[in-house]
Amino acid sequence: DAGVIQSPRHEVTEMGQEVTLRCKPISGHDYLFWYRQTMMRGLELLIYFNNNVPIDDSGMPEDRFSAKMPNASFSTLKIQPSEPRDSAVYFCASSFRDRGIEQYFGPGTRLTVT
């Protein structure tokens, strides 16, 4: 299995620019999760989808953040406009409910907003 795939692995952008992070979940998994990890706040869930439908977006910090899942094999997390405090590592994870609720994480995207 290829595992969860994320792109880009690193992103450096200037404040005010739009940033789009991409994720391909493990084939056959029906849940997809977006997390953010910082030293101060640890690993935080932003939003998750079930069968491409957003279920809980209460962790999305503000309206500048949006996420979509147009099909079972692709999801995006967009930040517009970006701010320096958005600098973090963003992880995508997926799971298959019938095998419990273990989540399998991608390698992450390290975002730096200057």
Partner 1 sequence: EDQVTQSPEALRLQEGESSSLNCSYTVSGLRGLFWYRQDPGKGPEFLFTLYSAGEEKEKERLKATLTKKESFLHITAPKPEDSATYLCAVPGGTSYGKLTFGQGTILTVHP
Q: Which residues bind partner 1 (CB under 8 A)?
A: 4, 31, 33, 42-45, 48, 50, 55-56, 91, 93, 95, 97, 100-108
Shortest gap between Cβ of 78 and partner 1 (angstroms)?
Answer: 20
Least distance in angstroms from the C-beta of 85 to partner 1: 19
Least separation, in Å, of the C-beta of 56 and partner 1? 5
Shortest distance in whole angstroms from residue 46 CB to partner 1: 11
Instruction: Tell me how far apart the 2 most distant CA atoms of the chain are, in Å.
Output: 42
SS in 3 state form for the chain? CCCCEEECCEEEECCCCCEEEEEECCCCCCEEEEEEEECCCEEEEEEEEECCEEEECCCCCCCCEEEEEEECCEEEEEECCCCHHHCEEEEEEEECCECECCCEECCCEEEEEC
45 or 68, CB closer to partner 1?
Answer: 45
Q: Which is nearer to partner 1, 57 or 81 (CB)?
A: 57
Q: With respect to partner 1, which residue has the nearer C-beta, 59 or 81?
A: 59
